[in-house]
Amino acid sequence: MGGRLRVESVADLVWNTQLGFLKELKKRGLKGVRLFISDACLGLVESIAEVYPDADWQRCAVHFYRNVFSLVPSGKVREVAAMLKAIQAQESREAAEGKARDVVEKLKAMKLRAAAELVEKSIHETLAYYAYPPQHWLKLKTNNPMERLLKEARRRTKVVGAFPDGHSALMLVAARLRHVSATSWGTRKYMNMKLLKEMDQEVIHSVA
């Protein structure tokens, strides 16, 4: 009983932290959000649905692959990786879902039932990007930009090694993020949003 209560309290803490973070972003003016990309972080999807109910959620394909690989013997990881990538390489969501069903059957034939169950249950979470312009698909499959920033933060904090308190670490990371935003890296255009606007206009005209 005590263990379960502790787990639930941690889950509640994580959910409340994520919910509070999203609410603060919205309070500060973040609006018009179309898509969130993340791993399957505890409580995050529920928090997004509450604060930004009209936004889509895309599960990072790379994180999903790693989740599947954790259920696969090391000698078969490369083969399974190729199978998962084949799903993401399809030209439409319908084709990707069909390919996923084939992959599930192959995984079962390989006696990888746990991996097959995960793909069957959750692969659809990695396919939200198909609702956006094809030119954007590669960059919407993962949350690589955020991972790149986190890697930079880890690199800088690792140099210091130890901090007297959390505030000192936060100051260093914030300073690094300010540096990124002030350089060409921070001003580089990641996607051509004009393509999204054109897609929206086509949808409006087709409905009309």
83 and 103 assigned to the same domain = yes
**What whole-number distance in Å separates Cα of residue 69 and Cα of residue 46?**
26
Q: Is 56 helix (H, G, I), strand (E, B) or coil?
A: strand
Residue 37's alpha-carbon distances to 68, 73, 100, 171, in angstroms, are 18, 28, 20, 26
- Cβ-based neighbour number of residue 122 at 10 Å: 14
Q: 46 and 11, same structural domain?
A: yes
Same domain, 24 and 44: yes
Mark whether 40 and 98 lie in a shared domain.
Answer: no
- The residue out of 118, 141, 164 marking a domain boundary is 141
Within 8 A by CB and 6+ apart from 144, the residues are 62
Do 42 and 71 fall into the same domain?
A: no
Q: How many domains does the chain have?
A: 3
Q: What is the pLDDT of residues 107-155, one digit of tens each?
A: 999 999 999 999 999 999 999 999 999 999 999 998 877 777 777 777 8
End-to-end CA distance of the chain: 58
- List the single range of 73-77, 180-184, 203-207 with lowest mean pLDDT: 180-184
One domain, residues 130 and 154 = no
Do both 186 and 201 map to the same domain?
A: yes
Of 45-49, 111-115, 202-206, the one with minimum mean pLDDT is: 202-206
Same domain? 111 vs 184 = no
- The DSSP secondary structure of 65-92, one letter per residue, reads HHHHHTTS-GGGHHHHHHHHHHHHTSSS
Can you tell me the distance from the alpha carbon of 53 to that of 153, in angstroms, rounded to the nearest whole number?
31
pTM of the model: 0.77
Provide the pLDDT for residue 185: 66
> Do 157 and 114 fall within a single domain?
no
Which backbone phi and psi does 59 adopt, to 5 degrees? -75, 130
Please choose, from the candidates 87, 89, 91, 90, the residue with its C-alpha nearest in 3D space to the C-alpha of residue 104.
87
Say which amino acid occupies 124: H
Domain limits at 52?
1-57
